[in-house]
Chain A
Amino acid sequence: MSSALFEYLLRLGDNTLILSHRVSEWCGLAPVLEEDIALANTALDLIGQTQMWLGLAGEVEGKGRDADALAFRRDVWGFRNLLLLERPNGDFGKTMMRQFLFDAFNVVNLGYLIKSSDPRIAAIAEKASKEAAYHLERSGDTVIGLGDGTEESHRRMQDALDELWPYVGEMFASDTVDAEMVAAGVAPDPQTLRKEWNEITVRYLTEATLTVPDGTFAHKGGKTGVQHTEHLGHLLTSMQWLQRAYPDASW
C-alpha cells in the first residue's frame, strides 16, 4: 500500500510540477503584461500544490527525501507526470488549451480527493481545489475568447485542440496503482472521471465554436513512467541544472 501510495502521490505532484515549469517558461514572454502576470501566478499556485504533494510523497516514502529532493534529484524515468503536461508550450493559444484540458481534470479529480480516506490528501485537495477552480475559470474563458475570436485565433485553437487531443486519454487510464487507491478509499478511479470532464470541456469548447475531435487513440506512458516523450529530458536539464551543478546549493 505505501509504495502504491508513494507512486500515486508522485503522479499528483509531478503533474503540477511539470506543468508549472512549462507555464513559467512564459515569464517575460507572454503577449501582454496581464497575461504574463497571470501565467506566473498560475505557475506559482501549481508549485505550491507540488510542494504539498511531493512533500507528502517524501513523508510516505520514509527515506528522508523532501519535495526538493524529489523535484531536483530524479531523472526522466523517475517522473510520473502525464505526457500532455510535458508537451512544449507552442504558441499562447496552445499553452492555454493544454492548461484548460488539465484544469478541468484537476477540478474534477480534486473534488473527489477532498473526500479521500487519507486526511492528509483530503486537506491538500481542499486547499488546491480552490486554486484549480480559479485556474479553470481563466483558461476556460481564454479558450472561449480565442476560439470564438478572429479567424486566425480560431484556427490556432482548433489546431491546438487537435494536436493535444491524443494526450487526453492518459488522464483517464487506470492501472494497478489506481486500483489500490480505489480499494483503500484514497482516490477515485480515473476512468470514472471522464464523464464529468467531458461535460465541462464540451460546454466550454462548444461556446468557443471549436470541434471536439472524435479520435480515441491515447498516447500513454507518462503516469506509469514507462515511456516519456523526448521533451521531458530537455525540460529537466533546464529545471534541475542548478542542483545538478551545485548540489545542495541554497540561499
Chain B
Amino acid sequence: MVITRPSVDQIWVWLDNVPDPEIPVISLVDLGVIRDVAWVNDVLEVTVTPTYSGCPATSIINLDIETALRDHGVKYLKLKRQLSPAWTTEWLSERGRAKLEDYGIAPPRPAGGPERCPQCKSKNVQRVSQFGSTPCKAQWRCSDCLEPFDYFKCI
C-alpha cells in the first residue's frame, strides 16, 4: 500500500486557514506560533510555540491544529512544543498586522505603544492599563474619538 503524504507546502496552506481562537481574524500562521512542519517517515510533526507561557489559548490552538489536519486526512500527527527561541511579536506577519488593525486591535511596535487609534487613526492616544482582555494585549484609549482599544503588546 502506498500512503500519499500531502506536501509540507500544502500543510502550511491548511494551517493558514486555522484561525487564532482568541483573535479569529488572523490565522495561526499569521500569529507566528507554528515554527516547523516536517514529515518524519509517516508521522507529521508540527512544532508549536506558546505566545505567553500561561495563555489558555495554547491548548485550544493545539486542539484546533489537530482537528484541522485530521479533517484533511492526516492520520499520524505529533505536536511538538518549542520554548526556545521564545515567541516574539516580530513573528506576526505583515498581513496579520493589517488584519489586526482592521479588527480594532492596534498592532505591536518596538516603540512600546500603538502608532495610532485603530478606529479613527488619530495619533493622540494614551495607555489605560498594561494588561488587557488577554495576556498578549494592553488597554489604550484614543483621546480624540475617546474609544478604548486593545493594543497587541510587543514582546
A interface residues (Cβ-Cβ under 8 A, vs B): 34-35, 37-38, 41-42, 44-49, 51-52, 119, 122-124, 126-128, 130-131, 134, 137-138
B52 within 8 Å of A (CB atoms)? yes
For the complex, give the distance between the alpha carbons of A131 and B86 in Å. Answer: 11
Among the listed A35, A38, A131, which residue makes an inter-chain contact with B53, where contact means beta carbons less than 8 Å apart? Answer: A131
Among the listed B50, B129, B130, B135, which residue makes an inter-chain contact with A44, where contact means beta carbons less than 8 Å apart? Answer: B135
Residues on the A chain within 8 Å of B84, using CB: 119, 122-123, 126-127
Among the listed A35, A45, A47, A126, which residue makes an inter-chain contact with B83, where contact means beta carbons less than 8 Å apart? Answer: A126
Do A127 and B131 touch across chains, with their CB atoms under 8 A apart?
no
Do A137 and B86 touch across chains, with their CB atoms under 8 A apart?
no
Residues on the B chain within 8 Å of A138, using CB: 130-131
Chain B: CB-nearest residue to A137 = B130
Known: A38-B131, A138-B130. A45 touches B54 (CB 8 A): yes
Q: What does DSSP make chain A's interface, helix, strand, loop or mixed? A: helix
Residues on the B chain within 8 Å of A137, using CB: 130
Interface size band for B: 20 to 34
* Nearest CB in chain B: distance from A15 CB, A: 14
Chain B: CB-nearest residue to A34 = B129
Residues on the B chain within 8 Å of A38, using CB: 129-131
For the complex, give the distance between the alpha carbons of A34 and B128 in Å. Answer: 8
B10 within 8 Å of A (CB atoms)? no
Of the A-B pairs whose beta carbons lie under 8 Å apart in the complex, a sample of 24, sorted by A's number, is: A37-B129, A37-B139, A38-B129, A41-B134, A42-B131, A44-B54, A44-B56, A47-B54, A48-B50, A48-B52, A48-B54, A49-B53, A51-B53, A52-B53, A52-B83, A119-B84, A126-B83, A126-B84, A126-B85, A127-B83, A127-B84, A130-B155, A134-B153, A138-B130
* Nearest CB in chain B: distance from A134 CB, A: 7
B113 within 8 Å of A (CB atoms)? no
Do B55 and A48 touch across chains, with their CB atoms under 8 A apart?
yes
* Nearest CB in chain B: distance from A156 CB, A: 21
Contact residues, B132-155 vs A (CB, 8 A)? 132-135, 139, 153, 155
For the complex, give the distance between the alpha carbons of A46 and B135 in Å. Answer: 11
Which of B53, B87, B129 gathers the greatest number of chain A CB atoms within 10 Å? B53
Residues on the A chain within 8 Å of B85, using CB: 126
* Nearest CB in chain B: distance from A120 CB, A: 8
For the complex, give the distance between the alpha carbons of A119 and B86 in Å. Answer: 13
Contact residues, B98-150 vs A (CB, 8 A)? 128-135, 139
For the complex, give the distance between the alpha carbons of A124 and B87 in Å. Answer: 12
